[in-house]
Chains A and B, each alone.
Chain A
Amino acid sequence: GAVVSQHPSRVICKSGTSVKIECRSLDFQATTMFWYRQFPKKSLMLMATSNEGSKATYEQGVEKDKFLINHASLTLSTLTVTSAHPEDSSFYICSAGLQETQYFGPGTRLLVL
């Protein structure tokens, strides 16, 4: 139980394009989902908290216009990296909350050329 999927697992795009990453809770409903970014050999950095039916809450220093988050249903949250640049290349991981525990997706590797 408590399985979270992410799609795509890997994406390569050109600089200036937008990329959408999906996070789904497969066997439970999650009113809250979280988006993290992980740099090589580093811990996870929380980017934003996504609440179903309301606006996401962004952490300090995260550009909300660049990282658009939508949580339209209890099983799906999306992160759109708009006008991506090489410095946005990273490993993005989502998690879904269930009973005070976060369950993580497998991550999405983004490479912006």
Chain B
Amino acid sequence: AQSVTQPDIHITVSEGASLELRCNYSYGATPYLFWYVQSPGQGLQLLLKYFSGDTLVQGIKGFEAEFKRSQSSFNLRKPSVHWSDAAEYFCAVGALTSYGKLTFGQGTILTVHP
């Protein structure tokens, strides 16, 4: 069965500092990988996705993620965090064979200090 692990439940960074949110997955087939962001009381917004090709993908709001097949990881990064980035971040995995269904990680709450 597929699974997604986000090891960090809560991360705190200072505004302007760099950020890396970890995501590890377990999936038998070739995975499709996603990062979503959720502000309190809101739905999920797609930050970026990886299906194939270049393993470093760029997303919205200055985020990027790198797919590392050997480590089964898809970590999200941002070089300089803004206060407005404070939110909860979810990593998700899907596949062509899953008919669009996604498996989500538990989420990482990001707090940004001024």
Contacts and interface: CB of A to CB of B under 8 A. Distances in A.
A107 B101 contact: no
- B: contact size bracket: 20 to 34
14 contacts: A4-B43, A32-B100, A42-B106, A43-B90, A43-B107, A44-B44, A49-B99, A93-B43, A93-B44, A101-B49, A102-B34, A104-B36, A107-B41, A107-B42
Q: Which 9 A-B pairs have the closest CB atoms?
A: A104-B44, A104-B43, A106-B43, A97-B100, A107-B43, A43-B104, A43-B106, A105-B43, A32-B100
Nearest to B51: A100
Given A43-B107, A44-B90, A100 B44 contact: no
Given A100-B51, A105-B43, 16 more contacts: A2-B46, A32-B100, A34-B100, A43-B90, A43-B105, A43-B106, A43-B107, A49-B101, A91-B41, A93-B43, A100-B94, A102-B46, A102-B102, A103-B46, A104-B36, A104-B44
A46 interface: yes
A32 B99 contact: yes
A101 B51 CA distance: 10
Interface string B2-29: 0000000000000000000000000000
Interface string A77-113: 0000000000000010101010011111111010000
Given A100-B32, A101-B34, A106 B107 contact: no
Contacts of A102: 34, 46, 94, 100, 102
Contacts of B80: none
Contacts of A104: 36, 43-46
B42 A106 contact: yes
A28 B34 CA distance: 20
A43 B89 CA distance: 10
B56 interface: no
A49 B100 contact: yes
A2 B36 CA distance: 14
A75 interface: no
